[in-house]
Amino acid sequence: MQGCSTLAKIPVVRDLPFVAQAEEEAPGPPPSLGVRMIAVMPVDIRAGSSDAAKMIRDKLVQELYFKGYPKIPFELVDAALADVRKRDGSAPGTMVQPQVIGGMLGADAVMYTTLLEANTTYRYVYAPVNVRALFELRNAKTGDTIWKYESRAMDRDYGVTKNSLELGSTKIFEDVVYAAVKQAVEKIPDGPGMR
C-alpha cells in the first residue's frame, strides 16, 4: 500500500506544463548526383573469379534499378565496348573512357567496378568467405569521379569435413557477394525513378 500511495504524488506527463520544443528542421531533399542513367561496365578482376565478377555486375544492375536508375542491358554495354575496342585496336580488359561509353549509350555516368578480393580459406572446422570490391562512378561528360566506395563483406561456414565446408561456403559465397554490392549501393543517392 505504501508504494502505491507514493506513486500517486508523482505528476503524470499530461499534468506537466507545456514546454515548447525547438522546431526541428524539415529534412531537405536527399542529395543528388545529377545522374539519370548509369551504364555498368564489366567488372575488372584483380583477385577472385569470373563467377564472382558476374554476380557483382548482375546484383549491381539490379540494386541500381531498385534505387531508381533505369537498366541498360549488358548486351548493349558489351556491344559498345566491343565496337570501341575494334575501332581503337585496344585489348579486352583495357579501360574505355566514360565519355566514349556515355556518348554511345546515352548514359550520364559510367560505373566501374574492381573486384579486389573474393576468396574462401578452408581452416580446420570453418571456412571464412571474403569479398572486397571498389565501385567508382564517373561522369560521362567530364570523366570526373562523382562517387567512389570500397565495400567489404565477410561470412563464415562451419563444418566437420572438408566436403561439408566446401558445400557450405559455396552456398554462402553468393550471399557475401550480394552483401558487398548492397553495402555500396546503399551509399548512392536515389535515382530519378524514386522521386
Q: What is the mean pLDDT of residues 20-35?
A: 56
Model confidence at 30: pLDDT above 50? no
Tens-place pLDDT, residues 118-133: 877 766 776 777 889 9
Say what the pLDDT of residue 41 is: 92
**Could you give the CA distance from residue 43 to residue 58 in angstroms, rounded to a whole number?**
10
CA–CA separation, 177 and 4 (whole Å): 58
Q: Which amino acid is at 169?
A: S
Q: How many other C-beta atoms lie within 10 A of the C-beta of residue 128?
A: 15
Q: What is the pTM of this model?
A: 0.74
